[in-house]
A = this chain, B = another copy of it.
Amino acid sequence: MNAVEESLSAQERRADAAQPTPHEAAGVAAPESLSATGKLAAKLLQMFGNPPVALVLWNGERVAPGRIEPVATLRLADRGVLLSLLRDPQVRFGDLYSEGRIEIEGDLVKLVGATYEASRSERRRPMLKALARLSHRPRINSLDGSRDNIHHHYDIGNEFYQLWLGRTMAYTCAYYPTEATTLDEAQIAKMDHVCRKLRLRRGETVVEAGFGWGGLALHMARHYGVKVRAFNISREQVKFARERAKAEGLDSQIEFVEDDYRNISGRYDAFVSVGMLEHVGVENYRALGGVAKRALGTNGRGLIHSIGRNYPAPVHPWIERRIFPGGYPPSLGQMMQLFEPWDFSVLDVENLRLHYARTLRHWWDLFEASAERVRTMFDEKFVRMWRLYLTGSIAAFETGTLQLFQVVFAPRENCDIPWTRAYLYGS
């Protein structure tokens, strides 16, 4: 069973228990009074499961849900927009919004969230969905493929990311101990949470698979006194991290290697990977687990932090095509392919999805505050594309469409594991 079939079969099975949602019986208001074009627009809404969204066409005709207050209004610039959406709604919506041919009035997060919810209750054309997914085959994460895929997203300029990631330059879910925690504090708290889960001790060695701009490696070296060997295939990130380590006087403790995780060698006390698994692809999980196994032997601890899902499902095709080629957030069941073949014991799983929603809201705030700057660095289309990606991600984590799993594991033989988790919480 491939991922598409699995997902569809999971959706069908969920249907056994799910309650009907308000959208299900809903259609557009007064469908009989619509023009032929208006009826096509109504069909478009139906393809998305009739979300609480109004459409206003280029000629001023309005197509709105019948029984629900719309959370947002979409203005379509011309007939081409409508026809394009009808052909390939998932990819074209993002593109047309980026191009400014769809304008949105209302809350972008609520719009995407409502569309996610409505699509769930839309069980009428699984074949169409399957076809749409098959026509958007994800890119393969071979050694060369991974390099191209990573280059696409991470090598567009460190200066751009510096505008909205905060001081830590951590591009992964933060950890907010309290409501008042700021983004920068929460990123540091996440690094500490990871280090404490790994129980790092002074003098130990750590291997990191995928290090972003090096924030976690620097934190581990500075605050936990460990030696870090860290791997990443994004040239821009490697350069940035090396400069940071030198500037902070930590370059003797950290080796930033520009290479693929598959080439990790040597034996270490801890294996850590934060936010790389999304780029690995399920077909490579066994190999990645094997890398961790060789790195740890029969001792040590590991932690993998990744976006995930409640069940296997294809990536949103617009995200896969425009934002994260080769990206795939796995279900927890799929993640077990990392651990089960190598007799790793999973010790602790924590789901931090609401923390990722908050992290993204902080990033989005900073992004909008720098929108003018981004526009001059790139163009308006780029600003709109990233706005949709950030708000869509917020909606995905807030609605539970995406999850965030932190998994701690150890070789079966290791009995030097925490007795309880109380030490993580200072008690």
Contacts and interface: CB of A to CB of B under 8 A. Distances in A.
A339 B14 CA distance: 10
A229 interface: no
How many of chain A's residues touch chain B, expressed as a range?
A: 35 or more
Interface in A258-281: none
A205 to B, nearest CB: 18
Number of copies: 2
B13 A342 contact: yes
A19 B346 contact: no
Nearest to A347: B351
Contact of A425 (B19, B343, B350, B427): B427
B403 A415 contact: no
Interface of A is mostly: mixed
A16 interface: yes
Interface stretch (A78-86, A248-256, A316-324, A328-336): A328-336
Nearest to A312: B340
A349 B177 CA distance: 19
Given A348-B351, A420-B177, A427-B425, A14 B331 contact: no
A187 B16 CA distance: 37
Given A333-B333, A349-B349, 7 more contacts: A14-B343, A17-B290, A332-B339, A346-B405, A347-B350, A421-B421, A425-B425
21 contacts: A10-B343, A13-B341, A13-B342, A14-B341, A17-B293, A19-B297, A310-B339, A311-B341, A332-B336, A332-B339, A333-B336, A336-B336, A343-B400, A345-B351, A345-B400, A348-B350, A399-B412, A400-B413, A420-B425, A421-B425, A425-B427
